[in-house]
Each structure stands twice: as C-alpha cells, then as structure tokens.
Amino acid sequence: MKTCFAILSLGAVLCVWSSVACAQRAVFLLRHADRLDDSEDTPLSKAGEARAQLLARLLKDVGITTIYTSQWQRTIKTAEPLASALKIKPISIASADHEGLFKRIRTENRNDIVLIVGHDRSVPQLLRMFGHTEAITIAPTEYDNLFVLVPKDTGVPTVLHMRY
C-alpha cells in the first residue's frame, strides 16, 4: 500500500511539475509482465496477469491519456487492465520501430501522459532516445521495472526508476 501511494503521489507531482517545465508531460515505460514461456508470442503467466492488474491499480489515477504496446500479446495483455479502466484503446506499434514510436510520441503526444509497454531491449533504447544518459539493463527475468520519464525541451530528462 505504501508503494502504491508513493508511486501515485510521485506521478501526480511529476505530471503537474513537468507541465510547467516543457510540453511533454510524462512518459511511463515498463517491460511487459511475466511471460508464460519463451515462445515468440507468449501470453502472460498467472503471475503476469496479477502484475498487469497491479499495474492498473497503481497507474489508474496518474493521468495517462495514451497507451502504446508492441504487436505481441504479452505487451497488449499487460496494458489491457489499465486501458480498460481508463477507457483508452492502446496503440500497437511494431516492436522494432523504436524510432517511429519515439517520433510519434514527441509529435502527436506532446501534451499527454504516455504509457509505453515494451520489452527488455526496447525500454532501455527508448529511454536513451528521450535523452536518458545512464545505462539501463533489464534482465530476461525482470518484469517489475517501472520508469517515469519527464522529458525536457533541452537537457537530460528526469527519470525515476521504481519497482512494482
């Protein structure tokens, strides 16, 4: 409960603060929830389904207006509980199109609070594209990373790394 309150409070503060600092309000980035197996388009495991529900409870009040996933069902199913609660239709972008996703967010979602449900390789790459300078590695067995990125028009963005 303390973690939930901390994330919600932090998200609210960042969203209000960032709207003054620059046009892009905030970007939440995370890897999909726990996989069932190693197949290419694996569904979520029971633990992954529970994690997706937890994510929906944690982020439902932070003001997310746009959700992006890849084409794979593990990202779609991770976003589904939150998207349903917020009545948002997630936008699916090919998992390899990091550049296209980045450009789309910076042009079409400049005033939004965005959630990106990606993969262990795409999340660190997108963080770098937004200007985060620290190296981020997500291990194949890690599903609990949550990054809150507040872009700036100039300079390095503010990035918070949490676990859920």
For the entire predicted model, the pTM comes to 0.86
Mean pLDDT check: name the lowest of 5-14, 73-82, 119-128.
Answer: 5-14
pLDDT at residue 17, rounded to an integer: 45
All structural domains of the chain: 2-163 (3.40.50.1240)
6, pLDDT greater than 80 = no
Q: Which amino acid, residue 58?
A: L
Instruction: Tell me what the pLDDT averaged over the chain comes to.
Output: 90
What Cα–Cα distance (Å) separates residue 41 from each residue in 4, 31, 36, 72, 86? 30, 15, 10, 6, 25
Tens of pLDDT, residue by residue over 72-123, are 999 999 999 999 999 999 999 999 999 999 999 999 998 999 999 999 999 9
